Every structure is written in structure tokens, then in C-alpha cells.
Amino acid sequence: MKQYTIPVLDVSAGAEAKAYVDTLTKPIGSLGKLEEIVVTLAEIQGRKLPSINQLGVLVFAADHGIVEEGISAYPQLVTRQMVQNMAVGGAAINVFSRQQQAEFSLVDVGVIGEAFPEPVKDRKIRQGSENFLHIEAMTQEEVEKALEIGYEEAIALFEKGADFLVVGEVGIGNTTTSSAVVAAITGLDPAELVGYGTGISSGQHLHKIKVVREALALHQPNPSDGFDVLRKVGGLELAAMVGAMLAAASKRIPIILDGFISTAAACVAETISKGAAGYMLLGHQSMEPGHQKAFQYLGKEPILSLSMRLGEGTGAAVACSIIQSAVLMVNEMATFESAGVSGKSE
């Protein structure tokens, strides 16, 4: 089993960044969360003046056996159709990635059916996960393979110059999977986590809660073992997302978290390698109820709250403009001394 080494955050660089931000031509603290973002990035990158130049957007796609239980408003075929849409640039994440001039990569790790043509990368592990209401979602070997693929695909983006990362997903049924994963790790009742996903009915919602509860009772995943959680109630794309996040954290590259699925993967990443969450900023607050529970578990606060719940990495990509503003602020604003502006009166 691969071991992921996460470096310790550079708190001294963060302190230096905070001290420097306080010398800029503004009242102390007046740029609010932008100042906090600068400090976080300084700790991640290990330098007083953080910089971000090239966004990498990495989207993993896979199907989920749990869809057999009628927990989604959409048929499983939609996963494949959305990948095809994304491949030609028609999805929301494509639009926001182009806005950010991001390096974009789309990877199939488990979509049912034959391989997609380029530009989709064919890293298919199997034809969707198993129905975890009855048997474990994946084998240990498949979990490890998914993490390794996620790690490799993130490194490939970094080698192209990406120095901050959004990890997105496509997979009908993955809010159910994420609910099971977060419930397993946090110990929360699935009723606190399970939402309406793609727009299910109230009856389907109650059924979805029941499915997650029964699956957890059957498998009893170990909350302190991320591999065990993934194997029993996870998904192929979710596991690949974990691998990508661990790659970024190991290379001191900031990760911008998206919504519920992304943050569920982040919970697993932190369980597998303590300290990984320190390399993550939370792009936005999803409308999915489980998202708030998941990011509170990680100790994160959202940058944006725009009533979004699409997934794909969209909320994280939109938040990147705010993060870029924070970086420009610390690198380009004048200090009181350099501008010859009088400081605060004693």
C-alpha cells in the first residue's frame, strides 16, 4: 500500500505573510477573508508572498452500482452522456475552466461502456462500482489503483505547469456514495447528510437515507481507515479524487475544494494522510446538507455561497477568481512606507 508523505505547513511563512499584509495601504483586516486566504497560501507554499499562475482542473468520471436502488432522479446513462458533453466543452466546468484559462483534464476511471475517444483519458478500472447495499463497492486492489491513477493524473497536470488544483467529478449516484462515506468517517446519522441530489422526490429521499443506513450497518466501515471506507461504500471517481488531492498536498500545491463529493473525498484524504486538509481551501458552500457537515469536520469555511449544487468542480472554479484577487493584493499593493502614506495614528 502506497504511503503518502504530507509536509508540515510552514506557519512561520504564514506569520510573515500576515505581518506583511498588515503593512499594506489599508486598515488592518479590512480585506477580510482575502487576507486569510493569503496566510493560508503562504503556509502551503512556504513563502511570504504566495503566487498562483496556472489553474489545473482535473475531473474523474465513474458509475455507481448503488444506482440500482433507485436513489437518483436520472438514469445511469447520464454519466456517459455528461462525459461526452464535457469532452466537447459543453459542460459548466468547461465554461469556468476556459474563463480561468485552466489546464483541463477529463479521466474515465469507471464509466459503464466502451472507452471514450480523446480527449477523455481512458484509465478505466472496471465497469462501475458494485452495489454497496449488498456487497463491498470495490476490492482493495481497485481502491489502491484508483488512488494511484488520481495521483498520477494530478502529477501530470503539475508537470504542465499547474500550481493550484480543482478536482471535480461526474457520476450519477455519487451523492449517495458521498453520504455513506461522510457518515462512516464522522459517525453522523445519514439523515443529517443525505440530500436531494439531482432532484429526487421526498419519497426517494427517505429511501436514500434508508439505503445508506442499511449499507453502513452491513459493512461497518472503520472510520479511521480511509481505504476501508472507500472499499466498502466508496466510488471509483471518489477514490481517484482522493489520490489527486494527496498528490497536491505532497507537492505543497493548494487544492480548491468544490461541493459535497469533493469534500467527501477530502475527508478520506485526511483520514489516509493526516495533514492533507491543511493544503485545502473550500471554494463554496453547496446546497447539499451533507456538505456543511463534511467541511465542518475538516475545519473549513467556504469562500463563496451561491446556492450551487452541480458538482463537477464548478463552485471551486468560480472561487478561483477570488483566490487570484487575494494573491494580486499581497503582491501588488503598496505598503504605507513605499507609498508615503501615513499610518494609523497612535
SS3 290: helix
Please give the DSSP secondary-structure letter assigned to residue 73: S
List the beta strands (DSSP E) in the chain: 55-62, 103-110, 121-122, 164-170, 255-257, 280-284, 302-304
Of 36, 312, 337, 346, catalytic: 312
Could you give the CA distance from residue 311 to residue 230 in angstroms, rounded to a whole number? 19
Q: Please give the torsion angle defined by the CA atoms of residues 286, 304, 301 and 271, in that order, rounded to the nearest 10 degrees.
A: 50
Q: Is the dihedral of CA 196, 61, 275, 187 positive or negative?
A: positive
Q: Could you tell me if 86 and 98 are in contact, meaning their C-beta atoms sit under 8 angstroms apart?
A: no
Could you give the CA distance from residue 140 to residue 254 in angstroms, rounded to a whole number? 28
- And the C-alpha cell for 141? 486492489
Does the annotation mark 153 as catalytic?
A: no
Q: Could you tell me if 236 and 107 are in contact, meaning their C-beta atoms sit under 8 angstroms apart?
A: no
Amino acid residing at 236:
L
- Other Cβ atoms less than 10 A from the Cβ of 127: the count is 14
- And the C-alpha cell for 44? 502551503
- And the C-alpha cell for 110? 469507471
Q: Please give the torsion angle defined by the CA atoms of residues 81, 84, 88 and 92, in that order, rounded to the nearest 10 degrees.
A: 50
Could you give the CA distance from residue 273 to residue 249 in angstroms, rounded to a whole number? 10
Q: Is the dihedral of CA 267, 272, 274, 276 positive or negative?
A: negative
Burial tier of 274 (Cβ tally within 10 Å: 0-12, 13-18, 19+): exposed
Q: Could you tell me if 263 and 298 are in contact, meaning their C-beta atoms sit under 8 angstroms apart?
A: yes
Q: Catalytic residue numbers?
A: 312
